[in-house]
Amino acid sequence: MMKLTLAIQKSGRLHEDSMRLLKECGIDMSNGVNKLKADASNFPLELYFLRDDDIPQYVEDNVADIGFVGENVVREKKKEVISCEPLGFGKCRLSIAVKKGDAYNGVEDLKGKKIATSYPVILGDFLQEQGVQAEIHPISGSVEIAPGIGLADAICDLVSSGSTLFMNGLREATPILQSQAVLIKNTQLPPEKEAILEKLLFRIRSVKKARNHKYILLNAPNEKLSSIISLLPGMKSPTVLPLAEPGWSSVHSVLNENDFWNIIEQLRDAGAQGILVVPIEKMIL
């Protein structure tokens, strides 16, 4: 039977989240895991474990059909691959940072400066777009120490919490790319593999949706039901069940994480009691 081959990071920041996503998609990878490859026992999928930098190339060359990799790497490598789906993990931004004490009023202040980075392509495109001429100094690691040792005036590197910049006496000046892990695919997958990918994408989207939503249960006096129900978006309309105590009902619905706290407060003000919020495992729409 035909299998889809998926390249994921062998070790590093994206490895665990990539494995977890597959697991939440109900794909069991415990079959024959070795250092290079693993086989799913219950889905037509084979995993390759690679360095993240190599994944776009392998997908372009059809060594792997699809890959999970940071958008930052996809943009830097400029390989011919198709980005199909953001995966919701590995979130960070690529930013220009300067020394804490240096004045910085905007990108034009970088004119004639030396910028150390592991992302010369993305930075080069950005500076060109902005019409700023600066010297790009490509280095492969420990970019954040470059200004401190006099190797560069500024850096362009990935930031998530900002603590690496802070500890090295730098401050974030201009973010140039928001990034997260994405699913990329080869541009010429045969229809049989496209069909397997569709199944995988359907599962990934259900998992992502569920992560963003919560199931909510609450009790309400019947005379306040209509105002409480009007606060709940829900997938269809909420479920309303009578409680054993006369005059009271139980209301069940689904809430989006984004407006969650807002709605909870409004529900309490409207007379809801005994509010329970539970995670949703999968959400099929």
Nearer to ligand PRT, 169 or 190 (CB): 169
Q: Is residue 178 part of the contact set for ligand PRT (CB under 6 A)?
A: no
Q: Is residue 172 part of the contact set for ligand PRT (CB under 6 A)?
A: no
| Residue 158 contacts which entry, Zn ion, ligand PRT, none (Cβ below 5-8 A, type-dependent) | ligand PRT
Q: Is residue 87 part of the contact set for ligand PRT (CB under 6 A)?
A: no
Q: Is residue 88 part of the contact set for ligand PRT (CB under 6 A)?
A: no
Q: Is residue 60 part of the contact set for Zn ion (CB under 5 A)?
A: no
Nearer to ligand PRT, 43 or 119 (CB): 119
208 to 247, contacts with Zn ion by CB under 5 A? none
CB of 22 to ligand PRT, least distance (A): 17
Nearer to Zn ion, 52 or 85 (CB): 52
Q: Is residue 70 part of the contact set for ligand PRT (CB under 6 A)?
A: yes
138 to 167, contacts with ligand PRT by CB under 6 A? 157-164
Q: 255: which strand partners?
A: 214
CB of 162 to Zn ion, least distance (A): 21
Q: What does the alpha-carbon distance between residue 84 and residue 25 come to, in Å, rounded to a whole number? A: 17
Taking residues 15 to 44 in sequence order and writing x for each that binds ligand PRT by CB under 6 A, - otherwise, the string is: ------------------------------
| Residue 39 contacts which entry, ligand PRT, Zn ion, none (Cβ below 5-8 A, type-dependent) | none
Binder to ligand PRT among 9, 117, 186, 206 (CB under 6 A)?
9
Q: Is residue 57 part of the contact set for ligand PRT (CB under 6 A)?
A: no
Q: What does the alpha-carbon distance between residue 241 and residue 244 come to, in Å, rounded to a whole number? A: 10
SS (H, E, C) the chain: CCCEEEEEECCCCCHHHHHHHHHHCCCCCCECCCCCEEECCCCCEEEEEECHHHHHHHHHCCCCCEEEEEHHHHHHHCCCCEEEEECCCCCEEEEEEEECCCCCCCHHHHCCCEEEECCHHHHHHHHHHHCCCCEEEECCCCHHHCCCCCCCCEEEEEECCCHHHHHCCEEEEEEEEEECEEEEECCCCCHHHHHHHHHHHHHHHHHHHHHCEEEEEEEEEHHHHHHHHCCCCCCCCCEEEECCCCCEEEEEEEEEHHHHHHHHHHHHHCCCEEEEEEECCCCCC
Binder to Zn ion among 52, 54, 60, 153 (CB under 5 A)?
52
Q: What does the alpha-carbon distance between residue 30 and residue 202 come to, in Å, rounded to a whole number? A: 22
Binder to ligand PRT among 72, 95, 168, 206 (CB under 6 A)?
72
Residues 75 and 27: beta-carbon distance below 8 Å: no
Q: Is residue 49 part of the contact set for Zn ion (CB under 5 A)?
A: no
Nearer to ligand PRT, 67 or 90 (CB): 90
Distance of CA 104 to the CA centre of its chain: 30
Residue ranges binding ligand PRT (CB under 6 A): 9, 12-14, 51-53, 70, 72-73, 90, 92, 157-164, 179
